[in-house]
Amino acid sequence: MDNNSMQNRICLVTGASAGIGKATALGLAQQGATVVMVARSVERGQATLNEIQQATRNPNLHLLIADLASQAAIRRLAEDFQARFSALHVLINNAGVISATRQVTVDGYELQFAVNHLAYFLLTHLLLDTLKASTPARIINVSSQVHSWATLNFEDLQSEQHYEPRKVYGMTKLANVYFTMALAQRLAGTGVTVNCLHPGVIQTQLMRDYGTAMSGDTPEAGARTSIYLATSPAVEGVTGGYFVNQRQAEAAEKSQNSAIAERLWTISAQMTGLA
């Protein structure tokens, strides 16, 4: 799509206060989209919004506040969005966390599983009718290449028996791929597509718990595939894909296992009160 074609397109980006999400919001704002930035901190969110507004002069930037570790907050976020906007053309589930120690959310779930997977699942479902009424519409789930060495342990999805932060993180990123595949099947023919991606290895604050910055490419480079999936006519109608470097790639073979994807779907629906 050229610059004009993103005008009047409403895009929601979670984790827009930092890293890849911030660069994604900036890129979409540069293309003239209406960008709804979701952040958990008013201060960080507003500072980022101001920065992007100054850089792009885009008058259509908005901030919504939600701690995505709380399902009540996700429900309020969806209500706030629907009260203020009548359409949603692009939903980018991007917010993510790696927690060095096992933490439990207000809903009683392990934090990484809650923020990296259940929040994608719940927010998408709450906004699905709006997306379906706004077709063509696109859902983009930011996963990671680390999904390929992860496994889902259904006996210990909450990592109560064993918590190894990076393994748990990998499991949540594999869950992103399963969610994308299972959702794509359900959305076939609706005009709403869903794809997931690996953004690259990107310099962000993702490893903040370890007191180290991630080394790698710039956040701008990390946002390219998300922006491509949100805007490019080349992926109009493409769904259920896994993308790396703005190209469709093979997700790990295990992520094509629809029995596992469906089992995860059922459990996720129960855990988010949707079933």
Q: How far is the CB of 222 from ligand NAP (least distance, A)?
A: 6
Phi, psi torsion values for 121, nearest 5 degrees: -60, -50
User: Which range, of 91-99, 123-131, 157-165, 266-274, touches ligand NAP by CB under 6 A?
Assistant: 91-99
* Cβ closest to ligand NAP, residue 142 vs residue 168: 142
147 binds ligand NAP (CB under 6 A): no
Q: How far is the CB of 20 from ligand NAP (least distance, A)?
A: 4
Name which position in 67, 228, 235, 240 contacts ligand NAP (CB under 6 A): 67
* Distance separating alpha carbons of residues 33 and 25, to the nearest angstrom: 9
* Distance separating alpha carbons of residues 252 and 199, to the nearest angstrom: 16
Restricting to residues 162-201, name those near ligand NAP by CB under 6 A. Answer: 198-199, 201
| The two three-digit tokens of residue 73, written as one number | 């907050």
Cβ contact 92:69 at 8 Å = no
Please state, as a whole number, how many other Cβ atoms lie within 10 Å of the Cβ of residue 74.
26
242 catalytic, yes or no? Answer: no
The contact pattern for ligand NAP, residues 208-247, with x = CB under 6 A and - = no contact, is ------x-x-------------------------------
Nearest of 28, 11, 17, 25 to residue 91 by alpha carbon: 11
Cβ contact 138:91 at 8 Å = yes
The contact pattern for ligand NAP, residues 9-28, with x = CB under 6 A and - = no contact, is ------x-xxxxx-------
Nearest of 96, 118, 114 to residue 17 by alpha carbon: 96
* Distance separating alpha carbons of residues 261 and 242, to the nearest angstrom: 15
Which of the following is catalytic: 109, 120, 169, 242? 169
Which positions are catalytic? 169
Q: Which residues bind ligand NAP (CB under 6 A)?
A: 15, 17-21, 39-41, 44, 67-69, 94-97, 115, 142, 144, 198-199, 201-202, 204-206, 214, 216
